[in-house]
Amino acid sequence: MTVIMRAITQLLYSDITGMHTIDTKPLYLLRKEPNQRRSKATVNAVLEAGAQLLLTIGYDKASTNKIAEKAGVSIGSLYEYFPGKEAIFAEIRRRQDQRYARLIQAEPVPATFRETLRLQISTYIKLTLANLDLHAALVRDVPKFATSAAESMLVAGFLEQSSTSVNSKAIKLRPQCDTAIALELTTRVLRSTIDDYALYAPEKLKQSAVTDQLLDLLERYLLQ
């Protein structure tokens, strides 16, 4: 199966699994935001311990007790902020996505829609390579429904930036095209494709040809 076909399959699967998060959403969210220095340190220690255990023993064995022990906090302190380990890994993914958003915002506003797409692709690849082992483990080992809310937030950010670029530059997308659906589809294909490379061919993410050809694929779909 090619990278693109796997990406499309993952895209469809993500929509199916996302349906199961409606009634269980609180399981994947922080109970409350840490506001004080001490509480932030506690949450950060839990997240760091969760990430380390994910890489060393895997998601299934990374219990909340083991995470608390690794973090050097009591299990009660862990549960004060996290309802379960699902929320821990969802928060790790959400913070990864926040870093992506900050990287995007730190760049000058692209002059063209093509450059907007290139920035989205190259920045996501840069973030993926910077945390390759953790990124791959989150994609491979953590159940999709545990991180779907965090991923949806990033998709929304992609869509907002793309929509702003389309509107500000008076870009005409392909005829009879639902703009919102088209932009969401390209966003999800972008993410799924890069995630797939991270799992199966991470060395290719360093090749400019991957960025260029993914850029051509998305631009041709949107504009032709």
> Bigger pLDDT: 116 or 211?
211
Question: What are the boundaries of each domain within the chain?
Answer: 3-19+89-223, 30-82
DSSP single-letter state for residue 72: T
Quickly state the pLDDT bin for 195 (edges 50, 70, 90): very high
C-alpha span between 182 and 173 (Å, rounded): 9
Say if residues 18 and 148 touch (Cβ distance below 8 Å): yes
Q: How many helices (H) and strands (E) does the chain have?
A: 10, 0
| CATH for the stretch 3-19+89-223 | 1.10.357.10
Span 59-94, pLDDT tens digits? 999 999 999 999 999 999 999 999 999 999 989 988
C-alpha span between 111 and 105 (Å, rounded): 14
Is the pLDDT confidence value at 110 over 50? yes
Say if residues 215 and 120 touch (Cβ distance below 8 Å): no
Phi, psi (rounded to 5 degrees) for 31: -65, -35
Say what the pLDDT of residue 23 is.
Answer: 43
Mean predicted lDDT score pLDDT of the chain: 82
Q: What CATH class does 30-82 carry? A: mainly alpha
pTM: 0.78
DSSP single-letter state for residue 175: T
C-alpha span between 148 and 176 (Å, rounded): 29
